[in-house]
Structure 1
Amino acid sequence: MRYTDIPAAHLVVAYCKSAGVRQVVLSPGSRNAPLVLGFTSDPYFECFSVVDERSAAFFALGLSQQSGNPTALVCTSGSALLNYYPAVAEAYYSRIPLLVLSADRPVYKIDIGDGQTIRQDGVYGNHIGFQGNLQQDVTHAPASIRWEGGREPGDPRSLHEMQARILAENEARVQAALQTAMEDHLPVHLNIPFEEPLYGTSPEPPVEIRPTLQPRLPEINGEGEDLLGHWQEAGRKMVLIGSLPPGSLSDAVVERMAADPSLLVFTETTSNLHHPEFFPSIDSVLAPIERSGQPAPSFEALRPDLLLTLGGMVVSKKVKQFLRAYPPAGHWHVGPHNANDTFFSLAGHVRSDADHFLGDFLPRTQPDTKSGYRARWSPVRDAYRKRRTAYLGQIPFSDFSAFEALIKAIPDGYMVQLANSSTVRYAQLFDMRPGNPVFCNRGTSGIEGSTSTAVGAAHNYEGPTLLLSGDLSFLYDINGLWNDRLRDDFRVIVINNGGGGIFRILPGKEDSDAFADYFETVHNRDMEPVCNMFGMGYRRAASAGELEAALDGFWDPSGRPILLEVRTPREINDRILLDYFDFLT
């Protein structure tokens, strides 16, 4: 085995290995050659080559989403680093660990007109857990270095003393970055300047590392005791659960929540929690109240005395509007990291793993058997399910009916990766089965990167994967398919309604050329050429009958990934969705 002969590069690679960072996503370049050589020469690392840096970063995010461990991202200097930014921001708000390693020119070559240079130090600003600029080695290519003051140190011992200080400072920054990524579940960035030559190797490592990573003790606060008193006093309690990985709450915690008649548990598709007593499809409860002639009495009846939130970002805009207009007396969040004051009523934050805390907390509480809170709203939930079935029986083929048929057809064991915008919002209206774990990039809620994330997640998931996407999101990220790790059991369903259909639903829409061109962005693209480019199987459906036929055999084992394009009528989808809420009303 050979090692890069540049000390800083080897230092980073060796610390990644000592910290258990196994997966590394590399994008081609020259300045990052020392890192590429270091990672690819060691069989400990699983290395991926992804050309498009934006896609590479989301692919790495998908890997970490499933593994829970930091994935290293390695790029060359210049604008390559900027292309990571959308995924870095998503990882920051979704609490997914990434280790961004950017190669750089030496500092004396920045802003002098040298090629492929930008100001890389601190480029991610406020969207990063830790960022550090490593110091350039002085024992590598000393004759090429522009020394401060214009003269190289004459005594070789001075050079090695300088290098020893540089090594110590670089070690501290690398360790701090890795510790933040692993314990805080955040993206971190190390910027590493390299002087040419870049491709040298050695049979011996240029430096020996001394791993000293020490786990930080978890931060514990005593707010759980304060919450207990409020909980016992509240006759109407609401638990709102945002995005959570599958298995985050134990069966015992779920059953205890389900047994309390004073407790409403609102779940989202991305919460991966299921129980007959819980309330999925939040908008199907709230939209009919909102669209009724007199919403205030019903909203007052739904207003909780106490709101408890778990998990990450919440998709439903309607529940945010409701809880801001009818705030609870207190909002508490349980989670090991940050607590968002989403509803402007945050009273406390129990900084603990939700399952660990609730497993101890709930047995200490007494269910309020006299409360009629859940009894008031369970019939509403049951009624909208019946009304939804009736509505589906009378509407034409559309986004709404297509999503219902597709979600019903997904086999158990498939992981579902949802694109953003209308895709995740339609999925919220239907009941996903417990056998289908669901993920979506809701940190920044952007449409970019959904395909790349799904491809990365699929690589680390034991079973097959389905990406359910809208047309704009899919076309925006077709380079996500430019990846030699695309699995044969990867399935894609694209709902193609010929534009950004969600904009037709939003208030203020105008049926004008400006709206069609600059908001909805009407197009006539189809997906078959994309499938031909990337060697995927292709199917198409434009009616309920065609969809049923296209799904026949779609999930069967195959020698390549398959995409199903579902064409829906652009100009009636919005009316059918809005009429659904009126129908429930």
Structure 2
Amino acid sequence: MMYSDIPAAQTLVLNFRSRGVKNIVISPGSRNAPLTISFTKNPFFNCYSIVDERCAAFFALGMAQHLQEPVAVLCSSGSAMLNFYPAVAEAFYSDIPLIVISADRPAYRIDIGDGQTIRQENVLEKHTSYSANLKQDVSHARNTILKFGKSLLRESQEEVQSFNQTEIDRALTVAFLEKAPVHINIPFEEPLYGRVEEPSIERLDEKKFLTKSLSDNQDWEELAKTWANSSRKMILVGVNQPNTIEDEVLQKLANDPNTVLFTETTSNLHHPEFFESIDSIIAPIEKSGKKNTLFEQLRPELLLTFGGLIVSKKIKAFLREYTPKEHWHIDTKKANDTFYCLTKHITIGPNLFFKKIVGQDVTAQSEYKSFWERKKNQYEKKRDAYLKEIPFSDFKVFDHIIKGIPKGYQVHLANSSTVRYAQLFPMDRSLKVFCNRGTSGIDGSTSTAVGSSIFSAEPTLLLTGDLSFFYDSNGLWNQYLRPDFRIVLINNSGGGIFRILPGKEDTKEFETFFETSHGLSAKHLAEMYGFDYLVAENEDELLKGSNEFYATSDRPKLLEIRTPRELNNKILLGYFDFIS
């Protein structure tokens, strides 16, 4: 093993090792050399080199999302760290423990016109749960400090060491216990490449974390009574890790005659009694002549939510207008008042909550669930009929693709149109679905999927649109693409979602500044990054290419599906008219 000769670098690396943070994503640079040397020369760590800092941060986020443990991303000084920010914001709103490490220049080099210097301290504080700004060692490069930074010598190296140790410990504790992003900023003075075989600071023993204590101060008798007496209960589940809700709990919820359970594709919850396509229930009501009456029939007395953020705009608009009497959110960390009617935040896990509540004698009886089940059965039949009528389009492609995903795959959905189309079709329960819904940006979907695939026992499929794919094409610029990595790129030559949103107009300005129409193909990118490339421009080509696409191979594969830009929105909007 080899270490940097700079104490702060040694302290960070030894703390990471003692806490078990072993996956380190490194973007190349010079100022971070002390840490790069220390991490890469220690066999305990798995180190990954990603040049593009934005991609590196999403790559690390994908790993942390999959492993459900902290993963670090490291960069040099200057603007490099700012490219981490989109992934940091995503981690903040998705409760993912991303550890950002930024090497910095000494304070006396900042704002004097020196190269690669910006004000790095606390620059991420609005979207991290802790910012640790370490102090510069005064035992390293002492002659330079005497010349330019004498004020640093007011503290001894022992005091600096104690401060840095405490700050690193606090940052790591927050990352682990809060499942949140943290930032550690470390100033280094040259020389940066000195090495020692043994650290100069005391080795740290492996630390054990205290588990986070959860308050259980609820009146369970009162909660159970409210649950049993509610004749119209709605459960709405957002982003949820695969296999987190026990089958026993799912079965109890499915058997409750007064409960309508809406799932999103990102919820990873499946049962024949659940409602998998929220918009297919809401949209026909919006178009109905009895809109107010039907919405009143759907309005829950008790709304119960758990999981992350909700995709469906329609259910959010409905619940904000037709608010329930009570809204309980179950989460050990936070409760978003998404519908402006939150009444209780229950800070335990959903499995324990439902075991305490569900199964009590139901005193209120209603037709709530059975009525909406009939509506669900109607739209499912109409969806099948609609698919037989329409031409080749995004809508038909999503039906084919989702039906054709092999069992057991890990599926990453890009944002914008992709995740919204996926909401309309049932996913096989064996699939594990992920999507960056914390900020809902298109900027890192590819990088996140690649990072997540590293430790996946199953193959990974990225289902993406053209703007998201081309925007993050640097996400393929690395050496970690597995042969079983697959990308389905639905290329409708622009931002198709803007043709669905209000304000669409057939003008040159709309095509240029909203839809951003283009004529790009992924063929040459696929060749450059070593992908086998397939293309489909009609239904027959798509059906023929599917078997080849999923077949075992020595290289990753990309299937580009070209769909009609000016027809897709009409077919999607026509679907909601048809099922109405």
TM-score w.r.t. the length of structure 1 is 0.97
Residue 97 (structure 1) aligns with: 97
Cα 1:152–1:102 change in 2 (3 A) is closer
Residue 57 (structure 1) aligns with: 57
Q: How does 1:378-393 map to 2 (within 5 A)?
A: 378-393=373-388
Q: How does 1:445-484 map to 2 (within 5 A)?
A: 445-484=440-479
Residue 166 (structure 2) aligns with: 172
- 1:194-233 alpha-carbon deviations (Å, 9 max, x no partner): 0111011112102114466641541314235253332223
Aligned counterparts of 1:209 and 1:149: Cα–Cα separation in 2? 29
Aligned counterparts of 1:216 and 1:551: Cα–Cα separation in 2? 46
1:317 aligns with 2:313: yes
Aligned counterparts of 2:487 and 2:417: Cα–Cα separation in 1? 16
Q: Secondary structure at the match of 2:548?
A: coil
Cα 1:147–1:328 change in 2 (3 A) is farther
Give the alignment partner of residue 343 of structure 2, picking from 329, 347, 350: 347
Q: What is the CA-CA distance between 1:124 and the residue it aligns to?
A: 1.0
Identity %: 53
Alpha carbons 2:279, 2:315 under 8 Å: kept: yes
1:82 aligns with 2:76: no
Amino acid of the structure 2 residue aligned with 1:584:
I
Alpha carbons 2:229, 2:362 under 8 Å: kept: no
Q: Secondary structure at the match of 1:223?
A: coil
Cα 1:146–1:238 change in 2 (3 A) is farther
Aligned counterparts of 1:133 and 1:287: Cα–Cα separation in 2? 50
Q: What is the CA-CA distance between 1:22 and the residue it aligns to?
A: 1.0
Give the alignment partner of residue 405 of structure 1, picking from 383, 397, 400: 400
1:281 aligns with 2:285: no
Residue 114 (structure 2) aligns with: 114
Alpha carbons 1:262, 1:368 under 8 Å: kept: no
- 1:113-140 alpha-carbon deviations (Å, 9 max, x no partner): 1100000001113111111100010011
Q: What is the CA-CA distance between 1:357 and the residue it aligns to?
A: 2.3
Residue 196 (structure 1) aligns with: 190
1:42 aligns with 2:20: no
Alpha carbons 2:228, 2:364 under 8 Å: kept: no
Q: How does 1:115-194 map to 2 (within 5 A)?
A: 115-146=115-146, 150=150, 162-194=156-188
Alpha carbons 2:14, 2:204 under 8 Å: kept: no
Alpha carbons 1:73, 1:99 under 8 Å: kept: yes
Give the alignment partner of residue 535 of structure 2, picking from 524, 535, 540: 540
- 1:507-539 alpha-carbon deviations (Å, 9 max, x no partner): 121111110000000000011011011111100
Residue 551 (structure 1) aligns with: 546
Alpha carbons 2:240, 2:308 under 8 Å: kept: yes
Alpha carbons 2:171, 2:184 under 8 Å: kept: yes
Aligned counterparts of 2:152 and 2:85: Cα–Cα separation in 1? 37
Q: Secondary structure at the match of 1:443?
A: coil
Aligned counterparts of 1:478 and 1:149: Cα–Cα separation in 2? 43
Q: What is the CA-CA distance between 1:292 and the residue it aligns to?
A: 1.7
Aligned counterparts of 1:56 and 1:398: Cα–Cα separation in 2? 34
Give the alignment partner of residue 356 of structure 1, picking from 349, 352, 355: 352
Amino acid of the structure 2 residue aligned with 1:97:
P
- 1:217-255 alpha-carbon deviations (Å, 9 max, x no partner): 413142352533322231100000001011111001101
Cα 1:50–1:224 change in 2 (3 A) is farther
Residue 498 (structure 2) aligns with: 503
1:575 aligns with 2:577: no
Residue 327 (structure 1) aligns with: 323
1:302 aligns with 2:298: yes
Cα 1:181–1:39 change in 2 (3 A) is same
Cα 1:147–1:310 change in 2 (3 A) is farther
Q: How many residues align?
A: 578
Alpha carbons 1:315, 1:425 under 8 Å: kept: yes
Q: Secondary structure at the match of 2:24?
A: strand
Q: What is the CA-CA distance between 1:148 and the residue it aligns to?
A: 8.6
Give the alignment partner of residue 243 of structure 2, picking from 237, 244, 247: 247
Aligned counterparts of 2:13 and 2:330: Cα–Cα separation in 1? 36
Q: Secondary structure at the match of 1:74?
A: strand
Alpha carbons 1:13, 1:38 under 8 Å: kept: yes
Alpha carbons 2:235, 2:260 under 8 Å: kept: yes
Aligned counterparts of 1:329 and 1:524: Cα–Cα separation in 2? 51
Cα 1:233–1:563 change in 2 (3 A) is same
Q: Secondary structure at the match of 1:346?
A: coil
- 1:322-347 alpha-carbon deviations (Å, 9 max, x no partner): 00010000111001111000000000
Residue 232 (structure 1) aligns with: 228
Q: What is the CA-CA distance between 1:141 and the residue it aligns to?
A: 1.0
Give the alignment partner of residue 258 of structure 1, picking from 254, 271, 281: 254
Alpha carbons 1:91, 1:98 under 8 Å: kept: yes
Q: Secondary structure at the match of 1:553?
A: helix
Amino acid of the structure 2 residue aligned with 1:115:
G
Q: What is the CA-CA distance between 1:166 and the residue it aligns to?
A: 1.0
Give the unaligned 5+ runs of structure 1: 154-158
Alpha carbons 1:260, 1:369 under 8 Å: kept: no
1:372 aligns with 2:390: no
Aligned counterparts of 1:6 and 1:229: Cα–Cα separation in 2? 62
Residue 66 (structure 1) aligns with: 66
142-151 or 366-375: which moved more? 142-151
Give the unaligned 5+ runs of structure 2: none
Aligned counterparts of 1:263 and 1:85: Cα–Cα separation in 2? 40
Amino acid of the structure 2 residue aligned with 1:204:
E
Amino acid of the structure 2 residue aligned with 1:378:
E
Alpha carbons 2:229, 2:364 under 8 Å: kept: no
Q: Secondary structure at the match of 2:454?
A: helix
Aligned counterparts of 2:122 and 2:138: Cα–Cα separation in 1? 23
Residue 156 (structure 1) aligns with: none
Cα 1:137–1:375 change in 2 (3 A) is same
- 1:6-39 alpha-carbon deviations (Å, 9 max, x no partner): 1101111111111111100001000000000110
Cα 1:530–1:551 change in 2 (3 A) is same
Q: What is the CA-CA distance between 1:149 and the residue it aligns to?
A: 8.3
1:526 aligns with 2:512: no
Q: What is the CA-CA distance between 1:358 and the residue it aligns to?
A: 1.8
Q: What is the CA-CA distance between 1:369 and the residue it aligns to?
A: 6.7
Alpha carbons 1:175, 1:213 under 8 Å: kept: no
Q: Secondary structure at the match of 2:343?
A: strand
Alpha carbons 2:232, 2:368 under 8 Å: kept: yes
- 1:442-497 alpha-carbon deviations (Å, 9 max, x no partner): 00000000000000011111110100000000000000000101000000000000
Q: Secondary structure at the match of 2:535?
A: strand
Aligned counterparts of 2:382 and 2:286: Cα–Cα separation in 1? 17
